[in-house]
Every structure is written in C-alpha cells, then in structure tokens.
Amino acid sequence: MLVASVAVGGALGSVARYGLSHALPPRDGVPLGTLTENVVGAFLLGFLLQWLLSRGHETHRRRWLRLTLGTGVLGGFTTYSAFALELHGLLVGGRAGIAVGYALATVVGGTLACVAGVAVAASAARRTTARRAHDEAAAAVASEASR
C-alpha cells in the first residue's frame, strides 16, 4: 500500500512539473520551469519535514505523509536530472555565464528555500503550541471558576 501511495504521489508530482514547465518556458536561455520547480520543491520539502517533526515521533500516518508527499509528490515535482541536462546544454551551447547563474540560482536558491520552509513550519508549530497551551490554561481557569 505504501509503495502504491509513493507511486501515485510521484505521478502527481511529475504531472505538476510537466504543467509548470510548459507554463514557464525558458527565457533568455534560463530554464525557468525547472528552476522554479526545484526551488519551490525545496521549500515545500523543508516545510513538510519540519512540520512532521514538530508533531512528535513518527506514527504510521506521519510516515505515510512523509513518503507519499515528500518522496512521491515532491520527488516527482523536483528534478535534478533535468537541471543537470539543461546545465550541460547551456555549457556546450557556449552560454557559460547563464549556466553559472542558473547553477547558482538553483543550488543557493534551493538551499535558502529549504531553510525558509523549515523556518516557516517551525514558526507555525510554535504558534500552534502556544495557542494550544493558552486554550488549555483558559479551560482550566474556567473549570476552576465553575466549581
């Protein structure tokens, strides 16, 4: 069942990548679709994994989410192989400057996006925890007041 979920997730991610690549065609030699897919995918993977981590130990459901969404959907959505092939095409096409910019934008942008995803998820988890603690304290006060 888990393998099937990862496979379906991968298919969905691949279809999303295909659509985005056609919606964002290369501009001035820069493969915008692949760049966007990899940077957005890095953000989403960082967010997903931090969000799951903030929920506590890995349950069956969290494992399913991690593998289906992370390995499946985001694994299908992002693409190192297309990045490498496009980078090679730029280099052999004599566009070394664009190739270097594309490589830096992908690697640095993806890393920063992942860090941002982790930070956003961690911040959301802290707010949720604080709100839950506040609600529990308010319920305890209300319970004491009703005695």
Indicate if the pLDDT at residue 141 is higher than 80: no
Indicate if the pLDDT at residue 132 is higher than 90: no
- pLDDT category at 78 given cuts 50, 70, 90 is very high
**pLDDT recorded at residue 104:** 98
The residue ranking higher by pLDDT, 29 or 75, is 75
- pLDDT category at 87 given cuts 50, 70, 90 is very high
- pLDDT category at 128 given cuts 50, 70, 90 is confident
Mean pLDDT across the chain, nearest whole number? 93
- pLDDT category at 83 given cuts 50, 70, 90 is very high
CA dist 121 → 6, 29, 52, 127 (Å): 23, 34, 9, 10
Please give the share of the chain, as a percent, with pLDDT higher than 70. 94
**pLDDT recorded at residue 129:** 73
**pLDDT recorded at residue 63:** 97
In angstroms, the CA 65 to CA 58 distance is: 10
| pLDDT tens column, 88-101 | 999 999 999 999 99
Indicate if the pLDDT at residue 130 is higher than 80: no
| pLDDT tens column, 56-67 | 999 999 999 999
